Chain A
Amino acid sequence: MAEQRIDLPQGTLDLLILRTLALRPEHGWAISERIHQVSSKVLQVQQGSLYPALHRLERRGWIKARWGASENNRRAKFYELTATGRKQLETEKSDWKKLAAAVAQVLETA
């Protein structure tokens, strides 16, 4: 546990989940692993936030769940992006980029 961890700002978890699922359907554990890997082990998603987030996204109709077999052939719940989810990802992505750019600009100049 030597890596430096950063807590996720409010609302970004949804974006990360959607982005991860954009590649292919995944189950919860794989999603958290993937975010961990891709962020060079900076971001660690806690189960306590991951699962409520998944269920919330499902309720909003952005992702949908179905049961399937995992890599090691166990029954696992896979989530995949829906069409509205894909649209939502695009909006959130561009919002995030604008926000990040704006924050960076303020930090640079102020």
Chain B
Amino acid sequence: MFSDILIRLRALFRREAVESELDDELRFHFEQQVEKYVQAGLPRQEARRQARLEFGGADKIKEECRDARGVRFFETLAQDVRYAFRALRKSPGFTTVAVLTLALGIGANTALFSVVNGVLLNPLPYPHPDQLVTLHESKPNFNTGSISYPNFLDWQKENHTLSSMAVSRSYSFSLTKLGEAEQIQGQFVTPDFFPILGVKLVTGRNFVGSDDQIGAAPVALISAGLWKRRLSGTPDVVGKNLTLDGKEYTIIGVVPSDFDLKIDSFSASDVYAPVVQWNNSLLFDRGAGLGFHGIGRLKPETSLGQARADFIGVTKNLAAAYPEVNKGIGAALIPFKQRMLGDVKPILLVLFCAVGFVLLIACANIANLLLARASGRAREFAVRTALGAGKARLIRQLLTESVLLGILGGAFGLLLAGWGTHAALKALPEALPRAGEVGIDSRVLLFTISIALLAGILFGLVPALKISSTNVQDNLKEGGRGASGARKGAHGVLVVVEIALALVLLIGAGLTLRSLVQLWNVNPGFNPHNVMFFGLSLSPATLRTTPAAVRAGFRNADAAIAATPGVQAVSISWGAFPMSGDDEWLFWLDGQPKPTTRNEMNWAIEYVVDPDYLNIMRTPLRSGRFFTAQDDENAPKVVVVDEVLAKKYFGNENPIGKRLFLEIGGQQDMTAEIIGVVGHVKQWGLDTDDTEPLRAQLYFPFMQLPDALMALSPMGMGAVVRSRGPVPGLFDSIRHSVQQVNSEQVVAGAQTMDEIISSSIASQRFSMILLGSFALLALLLSSLGIYGVVSYLVGQQTREIGIRIALGAQRGDVMRLVLGDGAKMALVGVGVGLVAAIGLTRLMTSVLYGVSATDPLTFTAVALTLTGVALAACYIPARRAMRVDPIVALRYE
């Protein structure tokens, strides 16, 4: 094989050397022969004559040697390519349509492959990514719940299978004393976090163990972005101070800007600080998850299974040591990549099938065009055959033409793909994990080249085989108009295939569209319009004051926001917030003894809010009342529950007036009286909420929070407002009013509730938009296909139609004839497509919501639409046929 390529290449590129060697070789042979005859006694003259006679034509031998060396292959190829270029240039219309069609088909495939490549195939950009895992606590209601800090410390100490592990937790810091006060996104991490991922700092050092000891001096890593934005990128940044939440942190290093990890609750942020710097009294509470999730690295040669087995042992020991909080708590270890990608794989595979279909349709279209063109060129080929061109030779030349088209289409497609992926990912960045890693690399290039070549061969083969099998004599006789009717079969099959493929795609897109509509129509349990959520922090100085001062601070901030023009109502939001963050409290019912372990307690998602919250969210009140301003720190504790909690724990009894024992943050128990029941909110998202195990919800008045929690709350709170209609610049006005009260109070990260909902279904929208555009493309291409074929057939039948009309056929008959032809192809295509769709859409079940994979409505609507479009495409040539003038048609001969 290797020698073959070398010899061919040498024959091609060192042609002169090879030729002269061949000369030498043959001359040597000739002279040896002469010598032999001379020695046998012939005179030299006679010997030469004899040898030459035997030798025959030296040129013929050389030609055969060249053939044997494979030179001819390349010479012919160059010839064919030149010829193909000339042929394509002669019909610019055909060439443009074909190249554009292919560019769309190949471009869509390349774009999607670059996504599949970047997201699914490429390894993660960290050293030995296969060793990376994520860590979670598996507990009642949560397979991958958060890890309490003390449990993490014990896991770290006791396990034997991870070389290192770390946890992280997001947090909003108030950055002050550096120009305008600002809320910035931060992460609390344990020291090994960055070393596990192999992150190389731009400057400075990583955290070390002693940074995470209680009483350690506060240190921080910052992002390259923050360094440039707020510290003007000064090279001596290490050692400088940063005031976060009123505490002075020493900057010890800068994290590079290409670090953009997003996994679980971690996302690359502006500042990173050791966990012990978190002033949270619950940090060392073994029962408090506090939103920590972990990452770890397996020791070399250690399998995930071994590590899981190891952690079963570790957690069993901890459950025995601390039964009241750790009973029933295990560890979940998940491969990093799997966790990061989530359920994006089925969607991408469905989309990948869809673009494959688009390309097949494009190929069928071009095959049709080529077929039509080939019959126009039948005479050319007949002449060439008559002159001695072999069948294989003709096929090869036609294939060269189609492959050349494929390559041209591929080149334009690559441009389209590069531009298209960029645009699509920019429009919907939250739809896809690892979106930043999508690009065109060598593997994508290889893919594009392969499909361009494959497509060229695929659509070139049909006409090539067809033309080479036609009868030379007939074609020469027929005056080059080709045997009419003979090739209808091939055209028909191609159109049927196209329509069937387009139908499957349209049904797929229809099903996703219906899923999306279903999702949009799901009532989230609140009214999202004109609602905005944002982060709110009081001035850092409030941290060192009394709970009463904190309450006063929030009352003032609330009042300032409420007084902002355009704001209708405002509420603090702590704990959970629909579709963006969750938090749970444990409770038990009045009349029950306090359960001895957490495992036996009941869980509820808790929303800690102000009285106006219900007016803002417009969650319906089912019975009783919601909070009022009188339900404050001095009043008896009250709680409002949702209908799910009411039904689950009180059945048909009226829960109002009953009492719940709440374990708030695992510290104090407190009893609260249920004063109202409200509707359920889809906390976990529009599609998955119904199937989550933990759905009970309760509301608690913010002002009644215990003092210990109140002391924590000045920093990183949330607030939610309802505005009077859409108010442009509302958030800036709110920021202004909040800072009027105190210049170190900050608001940040505003998101409208509509945005939160639409980004919660971003991946569905992403697949809907892509699948929809692929389906439209397929519809367009296949109707162009049927239009082209019917036009072509009409052109071929002009004479026949002329004769019919001359013999008295009505125009309507002609119309029916042509439409009938088209309808036949369309209906067969739709039939085949429906059968295929029933088989294929089942594979989509996992990406559909609220609609069956064989939804009869979608199937019927799409089949009717496609038939209609196909008939419309036939109508134009049918009208042309109707207007055929018999005299012109017959004179045409």
Q: Give A contacts to B, CB under 8 Å.
A: 27-30, 33, 46-48, 51-53, 55-56, 58-61, 64, 70, 72, 74-77
Given A29-B32, A56-B68, A61-B1: A51 touches B7 (CB 8 Å cut-off):
no
A47 to B51 alpha-carbon distance, docked (Å): 11
Task: State in angstroms the CA–CA spacing of A64 and B6 once bound together.
Answer: 12
Is B258 in contact with chain A by the CB < 8 A criterion? no
Known contacts A29-B33, A48-B64; A61/B24 CB under 8 A:
no
Q: Take A59-B4, A59-B70 as given contacts and tell me if A77 and B25 are in contact as well, using a CB distance cutoff of 8 Å.
A: yes
For residue B67, CB closer than 8 A to chain A, the reply is yes
With contact pairs A47-B56, A75-B28 given, residues A61 and B2 touching in the complex (Cβ less than 8 Å): yes
Query: Interface size of B by Cβ–Cβ distance < 8 Å?
Result: 28
A75: min CB distance to chain B, Å: 7
Q: Are B21 and A77 neighbours in the complex by a CB distance under 8 Å?
A: yes
Chain A nearest CB, measured from B684 CB (Å):
65
Q: Does B26 contact A (CB under 8 A)?
A: yes
Q: Nearest-CB distance from A7 to chain B (Å)? A: 15
Given A47-B61, A59-B68: A77 in contact with B56 (beta carbons within 8 A): no
Cβ of B29 within 8 Å of any chain A Cβ, yes or no, is yes
In the assembled complex, the Cα of A80 lies from the Cα of B7 at a distance in Å of 16
Q: How far is the CA of A47 from the CA of B4 in the complex (A)?
A: 23
Q: How far is the CB of B17 from chain A (nearest CB, A)?
A: 12
CA distance A60 to B3 in the complex (A): 7
Across the A-B interface, give the 10 residue pairs with the lowest CB-CB distance, nearest first: A61-B3, A55-B68, A52-B64, A56-B68, A29-B32, A52-B68, A29-B29, A77-B25, A55-B65, A59-B7
Mask of B61-94 contacts with A, CB within 8 angstroms, 1/0: 1001101111000000000000000000000000
For the complex formed, measure the closest distance between the CB of B22 and the CB atoms of chain A, giving whole angstroms: 8
- Contact check: which of A30, A46, A52, A72 meets B65 at CB < 8 Å? A52
Interface centre among B21, B25, B70 (most CB of A within 10 A): B25
List B contacts of A74 (CB < 8 A): 28, 31
Q: A48-B60, A48-B61 are in contact. Are A55 and B28 (CB under 8 A)?
A: no
Closest Cβ–Cβ distance, residue A41 to chain B (whole Å): 14
The answer to whether the Cβ of B8 comes within 8 Å of any Cβ in the partner chain is yes
Instruction: Take A53-B68, A55-B65 as given contacts and tell me if A28 and B60 are in contact as well, using a CB distance cutoff of 8 Å.
Output: no
Docked-complex contact A58 and B64, CB < 8 angstroms: no
Residues of chain A within 8 A (CB-CB) of B28 are 27-29, 70, 74-77
Judge whether A51 and B65 touch: CB under 8 Å: yes
- Interchain CB contact under 8 A, A58 and B61: no
Is residue B55 within 8 Å, beta carbon to beta carbon, of the partner chain?
yes
Minimum C-beta distance from A69 to chain B (A)? 11
**Which of A52, A72, A75 has most B Cβ within 10 Å?**
A52
Smallest CB separation, A58 vs chain B (Å) = 7
In the complex, which residues of chain B have a beta carbon less than 8 angstroms from the beta carbon of A53? 68
Q: Which one of A55, A56, A59, A72 has the greatest number of beta carbons of chain B within 10 Å?
A: A55
Which residues of chain B have C-beta atoms less than 8 A from A56's C-beta?
68-69
Cβ contact within 8 Å between A60 and B4: yes
Please give me the residue from chain B that is nearest to A55 by CB atom. B68
- Cα distance A25–B24 in the bound complex, in angstroms: 18
In the complex, chain B residues whose CB is within 8 Å of the CB of A58: 3, 7, 69
Residues of B within 8 A of A48 (CB): 56, 60-61, 64
With A52-B67, A55-B69, A58-B3 as known contacts, state yes or no: A77 contacts B55, CB within 8 Å.
Answer: no
Knowing A28-B29, A29-B33, A75-B28 touch, does A52 contact B61 (C-beta < 8 A)?
yes
Chain A residues with CB under 8 Å of B25's CB are 28, 51, 76-77
A32 to chain B, nearest CB (A): 8
- Complex Cα distance, B61 from A84, in Å, reads 26
Q: Which residue of A lies closest to B58 (CB)?
A: A47
Question: Which residue of chain B has the shortest Cβ distance to A84 in the bound complex?
Answer: B3
A64: B residues at CB distance < 8 A: 3
Asked if residues A47 and B55 are in contact (CB atoms below 8 Å), the reply is: yes
In the complex, what's the smallest C-beta–C-beta distance from B644 to chain A, in angstroms?
A: 76
Asked if A47 contacts B26 (CB within 8 A), the reply is yes
Chain A proximity of B52: nearest CB distance (Å): 11
Q: How far is the CA of A70 from the CA of B29 in the complex (A)?
A: 11
* Structural contact, A51 and B26, CB atoms closer than 8 A: yes
Most chain A C-beta atoms within 10 Å of own C-beta, residue among B2, B29, B54, B65: B29
Residue of B nearest to A57 (CB): B68
Which residues in A have their C-beta under 8 angstroms from that of B55?
47
User: What would be 5 A-B contacts, judged by CB atoms less than 8 Å apart?
Assistant: A51-B29, A52-B67, A61-B1, A76-B28, A77-B28
In angstroms, Cα B29 to Cα A77, docked, is 10
Given A47-B61, A52-B64, is A61 in contact with B4 using a C-beta cutoff of 8 Å? yes
Which residues of chain B in 25-51 are interfacial with respect to chain A, using CB atoms and an 8 Å cutoff?
25-26, 28-29, 31-33, 35-36
Q: What's the Cα separation between A72 and B60 when bound, in Å?
A: 28
A30-B32, A46-B54 known, 10 other contacts, Cβ within 8 Å: A29-B28, A33-B36, A47-B55, A51-B29, A51-B64, A52-B61, A52-B67, A55-B65, A59-B69, A74-B31
Report the bound CA distance from A92 to B613 in whole Å. 91
Give B60's nearest chain A residue, CB to CB: A48
| Contact (Cβ within 8 A) B3 A75 | no
Q: Which of A28, A30, A47 has the most CB of B within 10 A?
A: A47
A55 to B68, CA, bound (A): 6
Q: List residues of chain A with CB within 8 A of the CB of B64.
A: 48, 51-52
Taking CB atoms, residues of chain B closer than 8 Å to A27 are: 28-29
Please measure, in the bound complex, the distance between the C-alpha atom of A27 and the C-alpha atom of B26, giving whole angstroms: 11
CA gap between A51 and B57 in the complex, in Å? 13
Residues from chain B with a CB closer than 8 A to the CB of A70 are 28, 32
| CB-CB nearest in chain A for B67 | A52
Rounded to whole Å, the gap between the CB of B797 and the closest CB of chain A is: 51
Closest to A61 in B: B3
The 8 Å CB contact of B24, one of A46, A55, A75, is A75
Whole-angstrom distance between the alpha carbons of A29 and B69 in the complex? 19
User: Whole-angstrom distance between the alpha carbons of A34 and B29 in the complex?
Assistant: 14
CB distance from B6 to the nearest CB of A (A): 9
Q: Give Cα A74 to B4, complex, Å.
A: 29
Give the nearest-CB partner of A44 in chain B: B54
Least Cβ–Cβ distance between A82 and chain B, in angstroms: 8
A74 to chain B, nearest CB (A): 7
Determine the distance from Cα of A30 to Cα of B60 in the docked complex, in whole angstroms: 21
Q: Which residues of A contact B36 (CB under 8 A)?
A: 33
A53 CA to B56 CA, complexed, in Å: 17
Contact pick for A47, options B8, B29, B70, CB 8 Å: B29
The one of B3, B26, B31 in contact with A59, judged by C-beta atoms closer than 8 angstroms, is B3
Shortest beta-carbon distance from B50 to chain A in Å: 10
Q: Are A51 and B61 in contact (CB under 8 A)?
A: yes
User: Which residues on the A side are within 8 Å of B61 (C-beta)?
Assistant: 47-48, 51-52
Q: How far is the CA of A70 from the CA of B26 in the complex (A)?
A: 14
Q: Which residues of B contact A61 (CB under 8 A)?
A: 1-4
In the complex, the chain A residue whose C-beta lies closest to that of B51 is A47
Contacts of A47 in B (CB 8 A): 26, 29, 54-56, 61
Closest B residue by C-beta to A71: B32
CB distance from A102 to the nearest CB of B (A): 30
A58 to B21: give the CA distance in the assembly, Å. 14
How far apart are the CA atoms of A55 and B24 in the complex, in Å?
14
Residues of B within 8 A of A51 (CB): 25-26, 29, 61, 64-65
